[in-house]
Amino acid sequence: MSGFIPHTPNEVAEMLTFLGIESVDQLFETIPSAIRLSRDSLKLPDSKSEFDVLEELETLAAKNRALGPDFISFAGGGAYDHDIASAIKSLSTRSEFLTAYTPYQPEVAQGVLQALFEYQSLVSRLSGLEISNASLYDGASALVEAINLTVAQSKNGLVWISQGINPAYRQVVNTFANGTGHSIQEIPIRNGSTSWPVENPTLPGTIVIGYPNYLGLLEPMEQIISFAQANDIKLIFAYDPVSMALLRSPGELGADVAIAEGQSFGVGLNFGGPYVGLFSTREKYVRHLPGRLVGETVDSAGQTGYVTTLRTREQDIRREKASSNVCTNQTLIAITTAISMSWLGKSGIQELANRCYSGAEYLKDLLVRIDGVELYSSLPSVREFAVKTKMSSELLVDRMIEEGFLAGVPILEGFESSDVYGSLLVTVTEKRTRAQIDHYASTLERIIR
Amino acid sequence: MTLKHKKPGGKASSAPLMGGKEESTIFEFSSPGRSSATFRETEIPPRNPSQTIPSYYLRDSQLEFPEVSERDLVAHFTRLTHRQFSVDLGAYPLGSCTMKYNPKLADAGSVIPQFANIHPLQPVSTIQGWLELMVTLENYFTEITGMAAATLQPAAGAQGELTGLLIMKAFHEHNKDERKNIIIPDSAHGTNPASVTLSGYTPITVKSNSRGLVDIDALKQLVDKDTAGIMLTNPNTIGLFEEEIVEIAKMVHDVGGLLYYDGANLNAIMGIVRPGDMGFDIVHSNLHKTFATPHGGGGPGSGPVAVSARLAEFLPGPRPTITGRDGTGNPVYGMETPAKSIGRIHSFHGNAMVFVRALAYMMYYGGKGLREVSEIAVLNANWLKKRLSENFPAAHDRVCMHEFVCTAAKLKKDSTVRALDVAKGLLEEGFHSPTVYFPLVVEEALMFEPTETESLQTLESIASAMDKIAEMAKTAEGRGELKSAPKVTPISRLDEARAARNLISTYDASLASTDN
């Protein structure tokens, strides 16, 4: 046999004899012959050695333009070019984490379960909410699940979602709302902040706020939070986890659910996945939590151990009455972020956020001095901001590629009717040096001139 | 010890472990002021956030992350890995999960820097390799499943199910055809009915017949103009091929319904029969099962969905596609959203690095090799089913596909030893246990899926361990041991009821509970 099939021809023969049959084909006789394929009818290329496969993949990969010293990223928009410590890479690719299944047998899965317990603990400290699940697929799916939870709790299908939420997340929310029937109303952004229609007599059950929003901005929030609380409207915060080192947590500000994309913590850009959706809520909603939850308990000898708990919420037990269909989540990525958050530590997470902030402010000062570039909004930002440029942002990004820069993310789809349409979203991570930022700004100035 | 010294607070990282002692949480290794983190010298002048950010937003106290050295960090997580079973360590015959060996070549493919160091929103001119890879994987996947077009966006099987159901719904709505129900067998995965509810349809259960297959007569009673479609796993979750699939397909198509194929069990049929040829309209696959991408302790998975030609225009977008040719005639790739697309499913393009692994696996095996994979997976399952049959008879004593369900019902009746005890007993013998108590239609179910990567010798040793368990159940002493198993694992049987009753899901909650 070939590849990763260990059987020798003799062993196959021995097994067939044990089964009292003459060929493997006899095992497939329950399949109607009219639809059974003849041997070798799959039109796929012939098998290849490991080395040929890797060479082909490398050839394919070489057709990409990867980020690196000759292609420097100022792009964010939900995926950030951070440094990743070697220790994080080393631990998160250990095969015990990589090649385990979902921890259905806790006695032999304490490694994954305890790492998830620590992940939940860290995410709860980030979000300021007591309960965090063991991860969801990505930021967008976390938002979908958050809305499903708050709609069920408020018994009101109307959702106000700020246009300041990542446009891809909004699209995903709309896709899944076609199934649930929730009514998703996008509330436009003007001058960087959401124009909440608080005078509208039809009140929503849920309000979704970006913190900071997709444009990197901290919008005025006090009023809409009080409005929500006064009218018993559930509040969902879509937050940036790195910024939480500087900012008050969603929980402290009054969120009922807080979700985030966790990619910034030790997860490579990886062309957008696998990433991880962070999901936190208040303890009173724990019985409606989507996804898995790890809890602490003791074994028969009284030792501390961990299990997946409140399992009766989940689809495999509750079936059609389950509030979520999530089974497989993003455990390995969740563990990676837990390792990364622990590597950063108390001082490191603050240093990381400060460096992102300082770099972004440094770049902002350089860019606004350029003729033909202006800041989209004067609202405060943390690590990302939008600029209006006299050259179209798409063309600018294309031209900057030739100069060795991924200049940012053009703000287009999902902002068609907005005053920010056509702007360029720019971010600075701790990876960017002053020399790189100076060079970026001077190149951009030369190109749009 | 006569020397007087002040003991440092906190925990030592090199605490003895191998004796099965508990591992402290990462928080308990903290020592104030310690850190692993280092940063580049950037020469950017630091600024104080309070210069631009109003105090309303600024936190008053620092975020309490652990304060550990890198050495402590590495020691802690490495010790956690010593408390974790994995495919790399041994056989994992967990039914329905296809826990086959995850080839290392796929690991090597997934760390190629020109795949990894790519921002998902880079202009298409800089991601031609990625788009070509995605189109290639979609093509291989549609060939294997016998469908016309595919999306790679869904991040896992359950998300694939919901995506497929939303495509089904969009199709019916486009035809102004209001339908209400999706039919699901009583043996279905729990994700199926949950996904149906989230799609806005109502799940209706069709019962299995005495042969473990969909009861055709019962199905006839359920199929009508309100039927949006049917969701089937084939082979089904009992490991049996739905022999009347062609008739089922006709019955559902005749009333205008569609057929959804849950591809969790695709490992049984690659190169042997294709869902498209069976009559299915929509198929999802779990790349982390059939195509050997590592499961990561519970994800990331990937749940691509393939559809027949008439449903292609409803697929999620944007999709990678060939948009033109360059000067030398080579394809140029771009992203396009189909005309009647149900919309976006993922923040970006799906679990992209999983695509590289799955494609590497498909390339390695080729068409012939994938057929061999399924043949040996099925051979292994049938061999183990027969080998176990004396003590653990199969729920249905017929040829099975890649997995089978046997029952501990008789054992329980004779000895009070339950399926759960058998599972724990198997852990004691060094194997991961099978899936227990699923599917729900079999009493005291033990669902084994050995996969093609386990050798005959491994199967024999699993069977010997099962023999030993059956023997143990015959004596009071043995029964006692089984009911208190496992003992050789890092921790013994856990009090799951306590975890639910007194919920502690964070370290902070744990501290609060200790304080009380």
Q: A186 pLDDT exceeds 60?
A: yes
**Is the ipTM of this structure higher than 0.85?**
yes
Residue limits of CATH 3.90.1150.10 in chain B: 369-499
Euclidean distance between CA atoms B263 and B265, whole angstroms: 5
Could B115 and A95 be called an inter-chain contact, meaning their C-beta atoms sit closer than 8 Å? no
Nearest CA of chain A to the CA of B307: how many Å?
A: 18
Closest in B119, B347, B360 to A73, CB measured: B119
CA angle A241, A246, A247 (to 5 degrees): 75
Over the stretch B443-474, which tens digit does the pLDDT of each residue have? 999 999 999 999 999 999 999 999 999 999 99
Residue B231: beta bridge partners? B260
pLDDT category at B20 given cuts 50, 70, 90 is: low
Over the stretch B281-330, which tens digit does the pLDDT of each residue have? 999 999 999 999 999 999 999 999 999 999 999 999 999 999 999 999 99
Task: Identify whether A48 is part of a domain.
Answer: no
* Residue A325 and residue A372 share a domain: no
* Residue A435 and residue A393 share a domain: yes
Closest in B300, B491, B499 to A107, CB measured: B491
Stretch among A375-379, B11-15, B393-397 having the lowest mean pLDDT:
B11-15
Please indicate if any CB of chain A lies within 8 Å of the CB of B504: yes
Q: In angstroms, how far apart are the furthest CA atoms of chain A?
A: 84
A271 contacts in chain B (CB < 8 Å)? 115-116, 118-120, 127, 130, 348-349, 352-353
Report the pLDDT value the prediction gives residue A316, as an integer from 0 to 100.
80
In terms of Cα–Cα distance, which of B145, B452, B152 is closest to B292? B452
Q: B18 pLDDT exceeds 70?
A: no
Q: B8 pLDDT exceeds 90?
A: no
- Read off the CATH number of the domain in which A97 is found: 3.40.640.10
Q: Which of the listed residues A292, A322, A339 is the one where a domain comes to its end?
A: A339
* Residue A308 and residue A185 share a domain: yes
* Residue A385 and residue A312 share a domain: no
Please indicate if any CB of chain A lies within 8 Å of the CB of B15: no
Q: B40 pLDDT exceeds 60?
A: yes
Residue limits of CATH 3.40.640.10 in chain B: 104-364
* Residue A418 and residue A284 share a domain: no
Task: Identify whether A255 is part of a domain.
Answer: yes
Report the pLDDT value the prediction gives residue A319, as an integer from 0 to 100.
84
* Residue A267 and residue A217 share a domain: yes
Stretch among A112-126, B123-137, B239-253, B436-450 having the lowest mean pLDDT:
B436-450
Could B297 and A100 be called an inter-chain contact, meaning their C-beta atoms sit closer than 8 Å? yes
Query: Is cis: bond before A212, omega within 30 of 0?
Result: yes
Please indicate if any CB of chain B lies within 8 Å of the CB of A262: no
Q: B16 pLDDT exceeds 50?
A: no
A-to-B residue pairs, Cβ atoms closer than 8 angstroms: 726
Tell me the average pLDDT across A81-90: 98
**Number of domains within chain A:** 2
Percent pLDDT > 70 in chain B is 97
Nearest CA of chain A to the CA of B7: how many Å?
A: 23
Please indicate if any CB of chain B lies within 8 Å of the CB of A230: no
* Residue A357 and residue A291 share a domain: no
* Residue A416 and residue A322 share a domain: no
Give A180's Cβ-side CA count (13 Å radius): 27
For residue A409, what is the nearest residue in chain B, using CA coordinates?
A: B121
Test mutation, A26, A271, A333, A355, chain B, max B CBs within 10 A: A271
Report the pLDDT value the prediction gives residue A218, as an integer from 0 to 100.
98
Over the stretch A227-264, which tens digit does the pLDDT of each residue have? 999 999 999 999 999 999 999 999 999 999 999 999 99
Q: Which of the listed residues A283, A311, A339 is the one where a domain comes to its end?
A: A339
Tell me the average pLDDT across A120-147: 98
Closest in A4, A28, A271 to B118, CB measured: A271
A121 contacts in chain B (CB < 8 Å)? 25, 27, 506-508
Report the pLDDT value the prediction gives residue B14, as an integer from 0 to 100.
55
B133 contacts in chain A (CB < 8 Å)? 60
Report the pLDDT value the prediction gives residue A1, as an integer from 0 to 100.
56
Task: Identify whether A11 is part of a domain.
Answer: no
Q: Which of the listed residues A316, A339, A362 is the one where a domain comes to its end?
A: A339
* Residue A167 and residue A294 share a domain: yes
Over the stretch B189-223, which tens digit does the pLDDT of each residue have? 889 999 999 999 999 999 999 999 999 999 999 99
Q: B17 pLDDT exceeds 50?
A: no
Test mutation, B17, B30, B41, B63, chain A, max A CBs within 10 A: B63
Q: Which domain holds residue A245?
A: 86-339
Tell me the average pLDDT across A105-114: 96
Please indicate if any CB of chain B lies within 8 Å of the CB of A340: no
Task: Identify whether A368 is part of a domain.
Answer: yes
Report the pLDDT value the prediction gives residue B273, as an integer from 0 to 100.
97
* Residue A161 and residue A143 share a domain: yes
CATH of domain B104-364: 3.40.640.10
* Residue A330 and residue A363 share a domain: no
- For B289, the 3-state DSSP assignment is coil
Could A37 and B433 be called an inter-chain contact, meaning their C-beta atoms sit closer than 8 Å? no
| Alpha carbon A226 to chain centroid, angstroms | 29
Could B194 and A176 be called an inter-chain contact, meaning their C-beta atoms sit closer than 8 Å? no
Please indicate if any CB of chain A lies within 8 Å of the CB of B178: no
Tell me the average pLDDT across B22-34: 95
Please, are residues A343 and B73 in contact by the beta-carbon 8 Å criterion? yes
Could B493 and A107 be called an inter-chain contact, meaning their C-beta atoms sit closer than 8 Å? yes
- Read off the CATH number of the domain in which A421 is found: 3.90.1150.10
The structure tokens listed for B336 are 């396009």
Tell me the average pLDDT across B107-125: 97
Report the pLDDT value the prediction gives residue B515, as an integer from 0 to 100.
63
Please indicate if any CB of chain B lies within 8 Å of the CB of A375: no
Task: Identify whether A29 is part of a domain.
Answer: no
Q: B19 pLDDT exceeds 50?
A: no
Closest in A85, A131, A341 to B65, CB measured: A341
* Residue A325 and residue A419 share a domain: no
Q: A69 pLDDT exceeds 90?
A: yes
Please indicate if any CB of chain A lies within 8 Å of the CB of B242: no
Give chain B's mean pLDDT. Answer: 94
> Does the structural domain B369-499 have CATH classification 3.90.1150.10?
yes
